[in-house]
Amino acid sequence: MTHELDIIPGTEWGFFTLPRPMCIAGPCSAETEEQVMETARGLSEFGIHVFRAGIWKPRTHPGSFEGVGVTGLKWLNKVKETYGMKVCTEVATEKHVRECINYGVDIIWIGARTSTNPFLMQEIADALSGTDIPVLVKNPVNPDLDLWVGALERLNRAGIRKLGVVHRGFSTSASIPYRNDPGWKIAIELRTRYPQMAFFADPSHMAGDRRYLQELSQRAMDLGLDGLMVESHCNPSCAWSDARQQLTPQDLRTLLERLVIRENSSEDKNYRDGIDTLRARIDVIDEQLLTLLQERMEVSRSIGRYKKEHNVAILQAVRWEQILSDMVKRADAMDISREAVLAIMTAIHDESVRVQNKILEQL
């Protein structure tokens, strides 16, 4: 079932004047007035118009730095006055919303731990009813597209039309180089359903490490997303939260300059735009295939251990014949050639036998 959303595109909010990517940048957390002002100064120097800073921080452990609270909203006001920037921060409760409205915060975002929770989403939507403030909804920490859409619907029903999303990846127990699984497939699905909705990627929380920001930002652009929300701090290694993933304003400037941005407006849609978006999708699928293979080999190892315990031979020819013939039948129905399926499955099976034999050889 598709859920209609009545949305005003990000380009019509009047905040993002430069071409793609629309950029929101600033520290993970507002820490001190000096840190906020110094970071905003560095960012405003190269045309960043929207400043972010967390005031209330959702932290895993109590006792970690949980944000400076309302004091930080005064600093955000100073950023507006001094540098003419728009400011945005995260809200998680009705009280946060009221404080943001009182202090004239220009955009608010809902964090990944909050968008998972329909009760909180409804509370926030009710508090926002009757306002015109743009709201960005980060994806829920778990890869649940419906939950994400549900959060958007609640806000939309409360009359919020300046709605956008921030894709920051999903919690995972898989061993990947990033802090969160990019899970681009879900982002692509949401983008396809609501192409007019302002769509940001947050490479900082996806990566968890500044080394990966360039590649993830490029991927977001190749997928045709509108903007980036990036954490930037005047002195990243001393940040009170998320120190490893923040960039100095200067390094953010370099990152943005290195991005290859291809137009994807419908008027000048040409071959290159199309092919790059498709290739980016292929890259995402290939990464998923590799992760699946890794998982499959993990299971093979467990099977190897199990067979060893029970003194059973690795190669089970009858079972293997059965698997192959089932796969070939399915492939026929999917219009994939038998030869291709046989070749791929044989290679996977060979690797699986190799992995199991290795277990057997271990004493």
Which residues make up the interface to Mn ion (CB under 5 A)? 28, 242
Tokens of 254: 């370099």
* 112 contributes a contact to ligand PEP by CB under 6 A: yes
In 3D space, the residue among 221, 204, 222 whose CA is nearest the CA of residue 212 turns out to be 204
Helix (H, G, I), strand (E, B) or coil at 290: helix
Site for ligand PEP in 149-208 (CB under 6 A): 168, 202, 205
Q: How far apart are CA 136 and CA 151, in angstroms?
A: 10
Smallest distance from the beta carbon of 46 to Mn ion, in angstroms? 22
From the list ligand PEP, Mn ion, none, partner contacted by residue 168 (C-beta under 5 to 8 A by kind): ligand PEP
Site track 266-285 with ligand PEP (rule: CB under 6 A), x = hit: --------------------
* Amino acid identity at 305: R
| Candidate residues 111, 182, 203, 227; the one interacting with ligand PEP per rule CB under 6 A | 111
Nearer to ligand PEP, 171 or 291 (CB): 171
Tokens of 303: 């099977």
Site string for ligand PEP, 241-270 (x = CB under 6 A): ------------------------------
Nearer to Mn ion, 62 or 130 (CB): 62
Does 28 bind ligand PEP (CB under 6 A)? Our answer is yes
Cis-peptide into 143, omega within 30 deg: no
* Among candidate residues 31, 135, 51, the one with its CA nearest the CA of residue 91: 135
Give every CB contact of residue 281 below 8 A, 6+ residues apart in sequence: 188, 223
- And the tokens for 68? 């400076």
| Interatomic CA distance for residues 250 and 127, integer angstroms | 38
Choose the contact partner of 247 out of ligand PEP, Mn ion, none; CB within 5 to 8 A by kind: none
DSSP state letter for 107: E
Q: Decide whether 140 or 304 has the Cβ nearer to ligand PEP.
A: 140
Q: Which residues would be at the binding site for ligand PEP (CB under 6 A)?
A: 28, 54, 58, 90, 111-113, 138, 168, 202, 205
